[in-house]
Amino acid sequence: MVFNSYTFIAFFLIMLILHNLPFSWRTKKINLLLASYIFYAAWNPPFILLLWLSTIIDFYVGKALYTQENPFKKKLLLVLSLMGNLGMLCFFKYGTFLLENFVTLSNAIGFDFHPASPSIILPAGISFYTFTTLCYTIDMYKKESEPVKSKLDFSLFVTFFPHLVAGPIVRPPQLVPQFETPRSASRKQMMDGLLLLSLGLFMKVVLADSMLSGTADTVFDSAAILPALDAWIGVFAFSGQIFLDFAGYSTCAIGVALCLGFVLPQNFNYPYAAIGFSDFWKRWHITLSSWLRDYLYIPLGGSRKGQLRTYFALMVTMLLGGLWHGANWTFVVWGGLHGLYLWAEKFIRDRRSPKAYEVAMHNNHWSGFFYALLTFMLVNITWVFFRSHTFGRSWQMLESMFGIATDGKPLLTTLAIIKVAVIIPFIVLLHWFMRNTKVLEVAHKLSWWSLGIVWSALILLLIWAQESGSSFIYFQF
């Protein structure tokens, strides 16, 4: 089930009614859990078994990890949990990828090996709920939080439908305590939640799907050399599409949860206004970048064990972060490019005084905007590898963008170019002027009539665009 569907609207209305009826808190939680399974089953019902398996194993393993005093048994329990969670993830998400690479390697060294191609269906959101349960067992191993007492609360923590399929990636202390006491949305929370849901749907349906996705698909799905203008417009279109699509999902998820009385963590903070790449990853997919920092980068040494170790930890984290996004070497290159950018930034930072660097990174004047624009342009180069299915198409796009290949014929219409030329600069400028504030803060400062006009415009444009029906991009991850 997707947020941008009439089915979800009916589902959500039923959930709001049930959640506000005079049932016991336990009954309401059971309703939420059953609704979450129904929400997930709309894609492929059998995969609910994976959710159950992951939930049950990690609930009991987490308790055992917290109470176990024997170091060997404790490590063994952690290994079993990691093998169970990562094993399922590797099989469903990377099974075909690993087999294809093994076959390529075998044939390269002289073995004639041609196995049957496996038919593995990727469960929606497996990367997200795997990381959600992994952080629980790792925290139990480190005793950084207490185990969840109620199996119902833990099950709801894992499967709560707003964040289940594409995040935000939540941690137990962020959500479990909210299930322990009765919650319902206040009038303010309800209005804020509905506004965020409307805004998220507008970002996805009107801007990402109706305005930008067609241009991005036309450019990246073409096998031809393109003029530089068409290539850049296609990349900018995808840059806007992936932000609006994914941030739109996160905004919807936060809004839906808020309408039920729950608070989810922020996942985007105007990333296209980032000054530098460490700032970008503090603003883009915040819950993933913080997960990678706490459970991968810091355990690898972080910045505590010398410069070489820091550079190593940065690159490994970004390479694995790239691979998390998809079973294709192009995603690894995408992550590697971000790793190189972070290397370059650290190299420059280490050779400047900390005060001068902080001033540069928090400069809100036009010189700061220049650095933000440079960051945005470099990020767009990485999107070429993220969106392209093959390295051949990636290099072809880069050659077109930088004028190395000049014999391409125009592909895009004037209208498509104008749409991107208007929307993308608007997004970048909006991010810049909003970089230190939040959308709800701005909404609360508006008069009731001006907010009503803006909100009505969002709704009217949604009605004009109608139901897009297309899945969110990050569902495939």
Q: Cβ-count burial of 290 within 10 angstroms (0-12 exposed, 13-18 middle, 19+ buried)?
A: middle
| Measured distance CA(128)–CA(124) in Å, rounded | 9
Q: Cα 452 vs. chain centroid, distance in angstroms?
A: 30
Closest by Cα among 122, 121, 124, 125 to 170? 125
H or E element in which residue 293 lies = none
Q: Is 325 a catalytic residue?
A: yes
Query: What 3-state class would DSSP assign to 108?
Result: helix
Locate all alpha helices (DSSP H) within 47-184, ordered by sequence: 48-67, 71-108, 126-142, 151-159, 161-164, 172-180
DSSP string of 188-241, one letter each residue: HHHHHHHHHHHHHHIIIIIIIIIIIIHHHHHHHT--S---HHHHHHHHHHHHHH
Q: How far is CA 307 from CA 140, 303, 310, 446, in A?
A: 31, 7, 5, 48
Query: What 3-state class would DSSP assign to 43?
Result: coil
Q: How far is CA 113 from CA 90, 91, 102, 110, in A?
A: 22, 20, 9, 9
Confirm if 286 and 265 have CB atoms less than 8 A apart. Answer: yes
Catalytic residue among 163, 285, 325, 338: 325
Confirm if 184 and 20 have CB atoms less than 8 A apart. Answer: yes
Q: How many CB atoms lie within 10 A of CB 225?
A: 18
Tokens of 343: 């290397």
| Measured distance CA(462)–CA(470) in Å, rounded | 14
Query: What 3-state class would DSSP assign to 119?
Result: coil
401-438 burial code (b ≥16 CB/10 A, e <16)? beeebeebeebbeeebbebbeebbeebbeebbeebeee
Tokens of 362: 């928090």
| Measured distance CA(33)–CA(27) in Å, rounded | 10
Residues known to be catalytic: 325
